[in-house]
Structure 1
Amino acid sequence: MVKLISHSADETEQIGEKIAKKLHGTEVIALFGGLGMGKTAFTRGLARALGVDDGVSSPTFALVNEYSGKYNIYHFDMYRVNSWDDLYSTGFFDYIDNGILVIEWSENIEGALPENAIRITIEKGESDDERIFEIEGVEI
């Protein structure tokens, strides 16, 4: 496990950029962390490093946003997913192995995550802007 500390949204995006450099195109990135922890900022940095020019936004209402760059990126929000039926309705299983999946609120689908998923837990640090990233499943 790697532990990194971010002091700003820009640094959070830079962590996403570092991880993007290690990806091959079919990874599942499971993000764990509460509201306002920087999950979307992380995804914005990751997507930018993979050539996505469009603005990255939280998929809260759409459930999944798709971005095209070096690889296809599928950005999921599982906040309102409470059952296997809910998960199937998102199309989640159709996306696996067809691009990079970045999943916000992975806590809600823990049992459906592949064993080789990259797991990133984001917690609040000592200051309002500080975030602690614990990263498993990828060397950076």
Structure 2
Amino acid sequence: MSSQSTRNNQFLAQNGSGSRSSSSYGNAAVRCHCGIQLELVTSWTDDNPGRRFQACPNYKMPSCCNSRIAKKDKVRNFVGNEQEKNKLVQDYELLLSAEQEKNEFVQVVLERQVNVLANQRTMKEKHSAVIEKHSAVIEDQRDLTAELPLV
């Protein structure tokens, strides 16, 4: 193997590129940054159906450095930026805490409304009983006045 192809193999191994074929570079295996030999896979995404490329078998695992490289553009350097990640976790925890406080407050308000409605029902029943009693007294008074002789 020439010194040029050796340098190319070293470059590819260091940079994790899977764009070479074994026929042009001999039988040297291309390895991921995490040290695992890349495998030939086929893409079945809508953007690249049938596209063949080399990828680390552990590319979805957090321990694989290629997963960080692949996701870098989509997540805006989220992986590897611990401060941003921690801030996002803190913001989420604050949001979750605020949501729990809101739910507790809503629960208290609903319990109070239930109590108010129960008190209103009790008062309505009491008033209805008083009204019925007064209505009966009024009817009795009408009956008594109807029996009185006219002068």
TM-score range relative to shorter protein: under 0.3
TM-score for the superposition, normalised by structure 2: 0.23
Larger Rg: 2
1 or 2 for the larger relative contact order (CA 8 Å, sep ≥6)?
1
Higher helix share: 2
Higher strand share: 1
TM-score for the superposition, normalised by structure 1: 0.24
